[in-house]
Structure 1
């Protein structure tokens, strides 16, 4: 007899996710995490799902305005790639709040928005999601090449300006956007001229980590939506087994993280809400890039919480975010130290 070997819970997000000692995962209804107020409709946007990775069963939700005239008057629109949040463990591109954000972005920027599905931990620990993001960019590059031959997805061929592609995400999706951008611009340089160009990237409430506590983590502001304990738990569930929060996928400036100084990063827009335990990490990320001479814009939102862009997709903060994003995508950052 070896005693009681029944699996037991080792990590628990109450009502949503349990990781058991044998590695199995029990999932509940994530709707309990979201506001219950009905979301207004966003008219004037077409959307559909397209599979980009058949082997993994992964799709992208494509959004485009029914009237596809850009700010500059062209029929081609910039492309906004979007990765949803959820600590790499939760969330879905089909979730109503993420869907509504993408509808607004497509209608109001305007842009072709591509909301990307990726594999979740702990069933698929990192770097699985990063690999999916890179695979998606490869698929999108293929679509850009096919557009020239007249055989791309018709919506992308008709509406997408692939030379103005922006990579974005919220929370863990912002972390993913960082890593995908670093990979994409390196590949872009290796390939030389090609029809897909990463013109910039956007990090909304970025989910970064580290072993040493920041001031905001040591003394969290009142009313946070993501606690330090919750953040730590999500990293334990999503990082490779045994990895610390200084793993390069968590901490881009950790002791084993490759230097970003030689990377030819495009302009970045960093959105930092005030009431967020990750605020210091987000602002620190922007500061480090500025020190390297990168082109950085920081948009700080006083009184807003982690993930406000999707938790409250309407209202004046959301309206201001759309204005900031529209300006960034259509006019760019004017100075490496603009703030």
Structure 2
């Protein structure tokens, strides 16, 4: 563990979620000028896997993958991204640019005394993972992205595909000042709860899980921090110098995603010379919850592979 980190015992946070047989703890790491909260698990000498959550979740998003990855002999590091849950929530929209968040993760890897790690991301965490593959490839051993498009693939689809443009309406609504916060907070975060439950398979999000999400959303500054990710990408769009991702890449995609068309998955692997695409037709955007065992198995297979990945479509 790096010198710029400290442990925090929070049994109420991780105790009921991660099996007691797994050596897990809650920590804070100072990275890129801010403090991030993260859950770590597994032997510090094992290969490192970083799991990145999306909106409107936090580290808890990956709870069912942590123990199996540790049992497969990986060290697991699962942060709350900036603006979320227990991590620092810097002021201003500009602080939530993708490039700053990918720098956070690169520095986070360094706190484990590593030069590189396997990186897995879902939703916004997937966008950060793509950015790491594009701009900090030296920090990524293998990349896995779950229902998050390559940024160039997304731009092309929004321009050329009216269906994707329609599905992106909420991201445009989030550009408004203060009103999205009011709408999301109204009636004990009912809008966010409905968004999760109505876009996922029945039973995916339990009452206990949603209570945890509400606590995370209700932390001072969290809601604005979470929404600022959408505002920042519109006001400060990333400008990659290359579209090509040379890191071996796995793309897992739930085809019943209400927000993202499946063509994005096919287009995304086209930017990766070493790639594998797994389309799961009965899964939604929340595929790592709904098909947890399948996603975990795909991740382990991808991370264990030492041969070139053949592209499958």
TM-score w.r.t. length of structure 1: 0.58
Q: Deviations over 1:159-208 (max 9, x none)?
A: xxx477211111111001111232322xx3xxxxxxxx521111011155
Change beyond 3 A, Cα 1:49–1:274: same
CA displacement at 1:301 relative to structure 2: 0.7
Do the aligned partners of 1:44 and 1:107 also contact (CA within 8 Å) in 2? Answer: no
Structure 2 unaligned blocks of 5 or more: 1-15, 84-88, 177-226
Which residue number corresponds to residue 176 of structure 1? 128
In 1, the alpha carbon distance for the partners of 2:24 and 2:295 equals 22
In terms of fraction of residues, the more helix-rich structure is 2
In 1, the alpha carbon distance for the partners of 2:111 and 2:52 equals 19
Change beyond 3 A, Cα 1:128–1:244: closer
In terms of fraction of residues, the more strand-rich structure is 1
In 2, the alpha carbon distance for the partners of 1:105 and 1:273 equals 21
Structure 1 unaligned blocks of 5 or more: 1-38, 69-74, 145-161, 189-196, 220-226, 250-255
Which residue number corresponds to residue 326 of structure 1? 300
| Worse overlay, 277-286 or 129-138 | 129-138
Do the aligned partners of 1:181 and 1:201 also contact (CA within 8 Å) in 2? Answer: yes
Question: Which fold has the larger relative contact order, with Cα–Cα distance below 8 Å and residues 6 or more apart in sequence?
Answer: 2
Alignment of 1:1-339 (within 5 A): 42-53=19-30, 56-64=34-42, 76-86=45-55, 90-93=56-59, 95=60, 98-120=61-83, 123-125=91-93, 127-128=96-97, 130-141=99-110, 143-144=112-113, 162=114, 165-185=117-137, 188=138, 198-206=140-148, 209-210=154-155, 211-212=158-159, 214=161, 216-217=163-164, 227-234=167-174, 237-238=227-228, 244=234, 248-249=237-238, 257-261=240-244, 265-276=246-257, 277-278=259-260, 279-287=262-270, 289-290=271-272, 294-310=273-289, 312=290, 317-332=291-306, 334-339=308-313
Larger Rg: 1
Which residue number corresponds to residue 222 of structure 1? none
TM-score w.r.t. length of structure 2: 0.62
Measured on the aligned residues, the alpha-carbon RMSD in Å equals: 3.4
- For these two proteins, the number of residue pairs brought into alignment is 234
Other structure's SS at 1:57 match: strand
Q: Deviations over 1:186-232 (max 9, x none)?
A: xx3xxxxxxxx52111101115543425365268xxxxxxx533344
CA displacement at 1:136 relative to structure 2: 3.5
In 2, the alpha carbon distance for the partners of 1:41 and 1:302 equals 29
Change beyond 3 A, Cα 1:164–1:242: closer
Do the aligned partners of 1:42 and 1:104 also contact (CA within 8 Å) in 2? Answer: yes
